[in-house]
Structure 1
Amino acid sequence: MGFRLAQPAALWLLLLLPGVAALFRYGDRRRRAALLRFSQAADSRGQVDHRKRRRKRGALVGAVALLILALARPVWMAGPGEPPPNTSDVVFLLDVSRSMLAGDAKPTRLEHAKGIIADLVKQFQTERVALVTFAGNCAVQCPLTIDYNYFRDRLEAADTETVTRGGTRIGDAIAFALNTAFDDVQRGRKQLVLLTDGGDQDSSPGAGAQLATAHKVRVIAIGIGNDQVGATVPVSATDRSPFLYKGHPVITRLESAGMESMASLNLGGMYLHAGTDAIDAGQVYRQLLAASSPLAGGAPRKESDGYPFLLALALTLLLGESLISDRKLQSAGLALFLALAPAGKSLQVSEPLPRGTLSQVPSEPGVADDTGSIMDLVRRGNESFARRSYANAVRSYLLAADSAPNSPEVLFNLALAFYKTEGYAEAASTFGRAATHSRDPKFRAQCKFGQANASYRIAMQRSGNLFEFEQALSLTIPIYRDALALDPGLTDCKYNIEVIKRKLRELAGPMRAATNRFMVQSREDMARRQNTEASQILQENKNSKKTKGQVGRPAIDTDW
């Protein structure tokens, strides 16, 4: 059993984790400090359960760590698996430089080399074959395939025009074939068959052969052409006149020594001198291509990727983090959850405690009377509020507000108590008064926030009438935006605005349907009124004609 990392460089990302944790800690401290500034009791009676929040942060950091480990792609390696079948990948590397148009091999060296390749492919049974042509640069003419007919078509089309640069760079061609033509599929043998007349132009063929050994690819070099007598290089395949360089014909011969030296640098490499004659393709296949190679892959070890397991763990942590609530069990006045039916999501509203001193509260406070000081009245109201005796809290705060009608803190507490007694209209109005009398932007933002919450409750009470419901909901959004403008840190405002917008989108369909029904009903009512009026007019006309018929012509008095 072994273990390795396919992408170990990804582990450097783990260095970011302390920074992420520090950022979370800094943000939590800023949040707590803001709560402390807002309410004297924020530490003891705040909304956040800090242990749960630490668990949430830990789950997030752990999920990020697991995702980074997944990026590193851990791989578990078991013992050797089943031996691969007797298969092989053979990539033919064909020289298509101008010198391969020489006629010492009939009809040309290039056509002679293509014939050798075609004869060898006829011997193949399970081998995958590929074709790469090269000169000054390289091109894949056929990727690895077992479609031998397609391979033969691509081989037939190979000529000096399949590459864009002249010359002969064997070392570069070997490196290109290793990196481009071969793939990662596990095969019994991988072999590179090079067909060329040599004549490399300083591209280090020996280094290419050694690189093939590192890739566990065997190189079989086949020399094409006459290595004793030079041949004239023609201008092209159709123009057989000599190609001139500085006024003299270019002569080329097979460089067998260089190719044999190159093949010797590859483990298991072989050099075959084909020259200008045909070769026994069957014998070459059996003795070279089908024979075992010292670079054969052997039986690979079974490998199993571990990143799916790590991704599953990371997703589990993220899901758990989303399910953990960092809010304490809420006491009165700490948080409200206003349901938005029927979607199932909720409008979350964070509220502070009633403002004022919470210490030294009588153990059994009664209803506040008008003889106590303002602080006593506020203290008694706070105590009643904490005990969820909201009606008593309202009376205490009302008495305090009579003595201090412009105190934003007293008005805020009164509005919150109104809210708890479901007096949402009074709560909205009082929250608005508190915001008007305060000079503290953050406190005014909290007042506007409360006013928007109360306005939302008023809208919910009108949900039976779609038009009134939609209008009342729309009015809450500007109030939330006012609160957010005063204190951009009130992120719950953004959430509430989006939830209300979603609710308004959900109402759009029923509103259109209701409007259409209203328009149809209006048209029907108008048609009925018009029909009634027309009937009345006809009846009146009929009656009028009848009356005229009953009156006779008046007598004419004559005096002659």
Structure 2
Amino acid sequence: MKTWASLRPVLGLLLFLELLLWMSVLAGWFTATALVPSLTLHRLELAPVLMVTALLTLLMLGHLRWRHKVIRSLADAGQIDSVLPGYRMFAPTWKFFLLRMALAFLVIAWLDPKMGSRLQEVESEGVDMMVALDVSNSMMTEDVGMARLDLAKRTIKRLAASTSGDRLGLVVFAGEAYVQCPLTTDVDALDLFLESVNPGMVPTQGTAVGRAVEACWQGFDNGSEASRVVVVLTDGENHEDDVVAASRSVNQDGGSLHFIGVATLDGAPIPAFDSRGRPSGFRTDASGQPVVSRLDEVTLLEAAQAGGGTYTRASSGFVELSPILQFKDDLEQARISSVSFVDYEHLMMPWLIAAVLLLLLEMLIPKRPKRHSRAALTALALVLLGPQALHAQSDTKAKLVEGTDAFRANQFEEAATRFGEAAMGEQVAATALYNQGCALLSSGDAESASAAFERALTQTEDDNFRAQTHYNASLTALMQGDADKAVEHAKSSLRLNPNNPEARHNLALAKRMQQQQQEQQQEQNQDGEQNQDGEQNQDGEQNQGG
């Protein structure tokens, strides 16, 4: 017995295609931005909308499961070809994927990719600011409402957004200090560097705040007349060098140094992570006790005073930047020149064209192979049955030929008349009556067609001929709404030709119609009984009242 195939390959294919789509989009984007650095999105802040389209795939997965369940309830696996001819499990997946790609391309077009086409020198006034970020292991401690490093990165982004016209640079440090991003007015570039910051990027662990201050000072442009500001974000546990002396040196050279303490005085244990970056408890000392990291506020206050700047301690999830910004506004600002794109070439149209092509391709893929129309089936029967008239008398043969020509010209009433005249000849009566029924059926006269097929069955004993005639009779009965008669003729056709899928399909339709008619009849009977009981109850009440 034929069994249902598993739906897992279909679902797996859909998930694979979704993953392939995202990998292609991401790989294409990173490759394009590497080749064309000026490439960006006009609506970059709305880029997450593209991720929302992935929800359609989840909905499609649920739809495929529901669809498969419903189809399994309609028929057994061996009967599916008759109930749903041309049913294919994978066809909806491919059609959906084309729609899914088209929608993704439409969203990309809406985000409006663009690339710079003309550079121009832009001047602004501001100061030069180097920001030093502590990336030691202790910065992963969560005692400020989140990991210290996460709060520090958020604070730098806020600082960059609040310093219009200034040039900012980034230094990361632990046991050593490195310039991560040189001075720039491109805030987006600074954000990209920040996203990649993590404790593992500096191989030498520790907290060398003094070296970070020196690296910041060396990162300034000696040719710039702008004031120089150094901002250090750290938990203050300096174990490597003399940060106070380094701060005093910066102040003597004309710079100012500001510290932000990203920790609490009570501190918290330093978390440990495994090789995959997953939490694995806390770091311990030689005695097995957790290592607690606390804010060294005394050292930071002393260093800020020596550097001629300010000190701010982070609160839970927030750092107040107003002391640094007010200090910066009072400094001498210089005119800063930078080169940036002022004209862009928009690349929306190629994505729109690709989306339209995908939609057209999806429309060309049929949901299932098309079935032959009734006219085509009956015409095929005429071609097969026509040759039986070759041995008939010349007048009868002429009528058959005329009827065939009229049928092929879609003159069905004329064809029915000619076939009726040809049925007067005994040798071709069965063929003529059959063809007359086909013509009447094509013209919409189902009642007369049914009578012609019934007469044709009485004129021959040929099994193939009778099987095809029973099939057309069942189709006629379906058009008349006679489910019982349609079931009877479909079964007779299958007994004579079990390999006729069209007859199996008619039988399934007829049984469904039969079941629906029986259910309607039962409902009508129940309604009639309820009405009858109600009338009897009313009569009884009237008799009692009388």
TM-score w.r.t. the length of structure 2 is: 0.37
Greater helix fraction, Structure 1 or Structure 2: 2
